[in-house]
Amino acid sequence: MRAWTVAWIFAIGLIAAAPAQAAADWPAKPIKLLVGFPPGQATDAVARILAERLSTRLKQPVIVENRPGQGGSIALAALAKSAPDGYTMMLSATASLVTNPHLYKSTGYDTLRDFEPVGLVADLPMVLVANAAQPFGDVAGLRDYAKQHPGALNFSSSGNGTLSHLGMVMLEREAGLQLTHIPYQGSAKAMTDMIAGNVAIGLDTVAVTLPHIQSGRLKALAVGASQRLPMLPDTPTFAEAGYPAFQANPWLGMLFPKGTPKSIVQRMNQEIGEAVATPALAQSLKSIGAFARVDTPEDFAQLLRQEYRGWGELVQLSGSRVD
C-alpha cells in the first residue's frame, strides 16, 4: 500500500475518533446554559438553582446566559445554531417549544428536528383562580354560572397564545363554556385586575397565584397538575373536578443542539436526575412554585411530539397569531 494511502486512512481515523475522544473527556471547559427569559423569572430562577448544583457535580462552571425575546424562541434559535459539542445547552419553557412555532411566522428552529432532548427538570403547575367576590368556589359552580350567563364571564391571560390563554381555551372546549378573553402583557397586571374585580377568573402558575390565594384576595378552584399540590391541599385537580383530560402543567426541559453525542446527552440526564433528587434542591424548587420532574431523553422526545401536536391544535382553535 502506498505511503500516501496509509497516511490518508490514518488521518480519516483520527478525524472519526476525535468526537468520541471529545465526548469521553467531557466536560473539559465551562458549559453555557441558555435561558430565553430575563433574570428573575421562573425559568431563570430554576436555571440558576440547577446551574449551581451541576457546576459542583461536573467540576466545571455552568454559566447561565439570558437571551430573552419572542417568548423564549430567540434563545432556542441560537441553540439550534450552536456547535453540538456539549458546551451549549438550554433550559426551555413549554411554550417556547410547543406553542411558539404555531404562533409566530418564523422562530428559526424546528422543535422536532433541531434538538437533542435531555430530559425534563421541573413542572410549573397552573392554578385556576377567581376573584374572591365571585359567586362560585369550585369548577362545578363556575360551569353552572357560565352556562347561565353565556359570554358574560371573562378571564385574564398573560397574553394572546400564552399557556394561560390556551389553557382556558382547553377548559372552554372540555366544559362546553363560552367565556370572554381579556389578554394582558404579563401576569402581574392580570392578577391586579382580577383582584380588583375587573376580571373574574384566570389560569396562572403557582408562583404567580399562591400569594394572592394565601391572602384571601383570590380563591383557588382547581390545579392543573396530576396530583394535589402540598401548598394547596384542599384544592382539587381538574381530574377530581370532573375533567380528567384537562391538564395545565407546564414544564421546563433541558436540550442540546442536534448531533450532540449520545454519551453526553445521557451523562447530562443522569447528572440532572441525581441533582434534583437531593432534598435541598427539591426544596429550593418548591420555594418558587416548581416541582422536580426528571425522565429519560426518549420520554422527553415523546412528550415533545405529543404536546407539539396538542398545543398546536389549541393555537388553531384560539385563532391566535403573533407576527
Whether 92 is covered by a domain: the verdict is yes
- What is the rounded average pLDDT for all residues in the chain? 91
What is residue 186's predicted lDDT score, i.e. its pLDDT? 85
Q: What is the pLDDT of residues 238-250, one digit of tens each?
A: 999 999 988 889 9
- What integer pLDDT is reported at residue 4 of this predicted model? 55
Each residue of 259-279: pLDDT tens digit? 999 999 999 999 999 999 999
Q: Report the range of poorest mean pLDDT among 10-14, 73-77, 112-116, 271-275.
A: 10-14
- The pLDDT-based confidence of 288 (bands split at 50, 70, 90) is confident
Does residue 43 lie within any of the structural domains? yes
Mean pLDDT of 194-216: 95
Answer yes or no: do 208 and 281 share one domain.
no
Per-residue pLDDT of 178-198, as tens digits, reads 999 999 988 889 999 999 999
pLDDT band for 12, please (50, 70, 90 cuts): low
Residues 120 and 8 in one domain: yes
Reading the block at residue 198, the C-alpha cell is 375587573
More confident position, 30 or 282: 30
**pLDDT band at residue 319 using 50, 70 and 90 as cut-offs:** confident
What b/e string do you get for 89-121 counting C-beta neighbours within 10 Å, with b at 16 or more? bbbbbbbbbbbbbbbbeebbbebeebbbbbbbb
The residue among 202, 156, 148, 200 whose CA lies nearest residue 178 is 148
167 and 278 assigned to the same domain: no
190: cell is 392580570
At 323, is the pLDDT very low, low, confident or very high (cuts 50, 70, 90)?
Answer: low
- Of 208, 223, 238, which marks where a domain is finished? 223
| 239 belongs to a structural domain | no
State which residues form the domain around 152: 126-223
N- to C-terminal Cα distance for the chain? Answer: 62
Edge-to-edge strand list for the sheet holding 88-93: 62-66, 31-35, 88-93, 251-257, 115-123, 291-292
Looking at the fold, whether 290 and 280 belong to one and the same domain comes out as yes
Cis peptide before 211 (omega within 30 of 0): no
Question: How many domains is the chain built from?
Answer: 2
Question: What are the CA-CA distances from residue 88 to residues 27, 67, 80, 94, 163 (Å)?
Answer: 11, 13, 10, 19, 27
Same domain, 120 and 255: yes
- Asked if 276 and 285 count as a contact pair (C-beta separation under 8 A), the reply is yes
Same domain, 139 and 96: no
Can you give the CATH number for the domain in which 182 is found? Answer: 3.40.190.10
Strands 115-123 and 291-292: antiparallel
Domain containing residue 26: CATH number: 3.40.190.150
Task: Verify that 181 and 99 share a domain, yes or no.
Answer: no
Same domain flag for 56 and 133: no
pLDDT higher than threshold 80 for residue 2? no
Residues 136 and 105 grouped into a single domain: no
Percent of the chain at pLDDT > 70 equals 93
Assigned C-alpha cell, 22 = 471529545
Of 223, 241, 275, which one is at a domain's C-terminal end? 223
Dihedral angle computed from the Cα positions of residues 259, 264, 269 and 273, in that order, rounded to the nearest 10 degrees: -160
Residue 234 lies in a domain: no
pLDDT 10s digits, 129-164: 999 999 999 999 999 999 999 888 999 998 888 999
pLDDT value for 10: 53
Find, among 125, 195, 196, 194, the residue nearest to 156 by Cα: 194
Query: Do both 36 and 184 map to the same domain?
Result: no
Query: Based on the domain organization, do 111 and 141 belong to the same domain?
Result: no
**Is residue 114 scored above 70 in pLDDT?**
yes
Mean pLDDT, to the nearest integer, of 211-235? Answer: 95
Please check whether residue 244 lies inside any domain of the structure.
no
By mean pLDDT, which of 8-22, 147-161, 217-231 is the weakest? 8-22
Q: What angle do CA 159, 161, 164 make, to 5 degrees?
A: 65
321 Cβ neighbours under 8 A, 6+ residues apart: 103, 161
Do 90 and 40 sit in the same domain of this protein?
yes
Least confident of 38-47, 61-70, 73-82: 38-47
Asked if residue 28 is part of any domain, the answer here is yes
Top-confidence residue, 195 or 1: 195
Q: Residue 42 falls within a domain, yes or no?
A: yes
Whether 165 maps to a domain, the answer reads yes
pLDDT for residue 21 is more than 70: no
